[in-house]
Structures are given as C-alpha cells and as structure tokens.
Copies of this chain bind each other. A is one copy, B any other.
C-alpha cells in the first residue's frame, strides 16, 4: 500500500528533525558549514529544501542544533559510563578512556570535534557551550582520577592537568583524523585507531606510574578488576 515505499507523511514527522540533524552533521563535517548547501542537507535527509526550513529556522540554527544535540547525548552517556567502574586509578582511566573512545570514535559523534574546531571562530556561542558542557566536565572527571592515583601513591606527582591532556588529546586527534585526512583515499595514511588508543593509554599510564622502586621490596602493584 501507500506505506510500503512511500512512508506515511504524518508518521515521519517525528523522525524528520533527527534525520535532518544526521544529514547535516555528516555534510557539515565532510565539507564544512559554509561549503554545504542547505539543499544538500535536505536531499540527503530525503526531503526537499522547503522541509528543512519547516524544522530549523536557518542554516545557522541547524548547525547549532547539530552540535547541541550531539553533545547532549554524549554528555548523558559520559556521566553514566564514568559511574560504572572501580579499581586502581590506572585501570579506571584505561577503562573510562578506552570505552569512551570506542563509543565516540565509532559513532557519528566523533565528527563533532571536527565541527567544533572548524566552526567555533565563526560562531562563538559554540565555544561557550562546548567548554562548559564537554571540556570542563570531562577534564574534571579524568583529573579527579589522576589526582586520586597520585594521592594513593599509584602515580608520580605530576601536573594533573597536563597528564589529562597527554592522555586525552591523542584520542581527539584520532577522531579528527578519521574525518579529515583519514577520509581521503589518496594520502590517507594508515592509523588504526583501536590499537593505537590502547597502546597510547598504556604508554602514558606507564609514564605516570611509580615504577621506580627499590629492587628488593617492590610493592606489589595494586591489581584490580
């Protein structure tokens, strides 16, 4: 019937905004905001130009909605994820970072980093929102774990903030790579995110850990999980 190949008009209404946001995210990340035509977004979402404007008052509002929505989802997840683990600071960081990364990297949300980096200077509202909702919460979450690790003698007394950056920046960089150079056949130069991230986290955690010890009475490293 009519619902087979031409889905019922009314039914789709609720799904439209999300479909448009998905299409917009993909295109904005691929081509940049300015270089993406509103009609392309509409077409990719399977609707006409006019329909886009039924749901978003302007292309710029669409951009903001894309970012806000993506980040909101991630924020909700992030909080939930962090609560689920326990154990040594090392294990905790490994778990939180790797799992968080796997989720982000695989999902379209990993693309938002590129979008933010690309568009903040044109739309400064993004900056405030992103810093408040993403950067700071994440930084505090990880910073606290590192801090605890230091306090418990598990980590060396390093600069907490720097350590967090050392851990996290490459994860973001890999996401950026996936959506920029990594997306180009020519010259895309292999960087397997999954294995790299694990190695990276291990490497940095190694650098953080108090490995140096009197040979004889090496305290048994707290084994977790």
A212 within 8 A of B: yes
Chain B residues with Cβ below 8 Å from A34 are 32, 34-35
Q: Would A32 and B122 be within 8 Å (CB), given that A162-B196, A213-B214, A225-B224 are in contact?
A: yes
CA–CA, A166 to B223, complex, Å?
A: 20
Q: Mark A60-103, 1 if CB is under 8 A from B, else 0.
A: 00000000000000000000000001011011101100100000
User: B130 contacts A187, CB within 8 Å?
Assistant: yes
In the bound complex, how far is the Cα of B209 from the Cα of A225, in angstroms?
17
Q: Which DSSP category, helix, strand, loop or mixed, fits chain A's interface?
A: helix
Contacts of A127 in B (CB 8 A): 181, 184, 186-188
- Stretch binding the partner chain, chosen from A6-14, A39-47, A48-56, A171-179: A171-179
Q: How far is the CA of A60 from the CA of B220 in the complex (A)?
A: 53
Residue A148 interfacial (CB < 8 Å): no
| Nearest Cβ on chain B to A102's Cβ, whole angstroms | 11
Q: Is the CB of A214 within 8 A of B215?
A: yes
Cα distance A223–B93 when bound, in Å? 11
- A57 contacts chain B at the CB level, 8 A cutoff: no
A196 touches B122 (CB 8 A): no
Chain B residues closer than 8 Å to A165, beta-carbon distance: 170, 191, 196, 200
Contact in complex: A199, B162 (CB < 8 Å): yes
User: CA–CA, A224 to B205, complex, Å?
Assistant: 12
Q: What's the Cα separation between A122 and B34 when bound, in Å?
A: 12
> Least Cβ distance of A81 to chain B in Å?
13
> Which of A136, A174, A214: most chain B Cβ within 10 A?
A214
- Kindly list chain B residues whose C-beta atoms are within 8 Å of the C-beta of A211: 211-213, 219
A37 to B129, CA, bound (A): 27
User: 11 A-B residue contacts at CB 8 Å?
Assistant: A32-B122, A35-B122, A92-B224, A114-B117, A131-B188, A159-B195, A165-B200, A166-B200, A170-B170, A172-B173, A173-B173
CB-CB nearest 3 A-B residue pairs: A91-B224, A207-B207, A131-B187
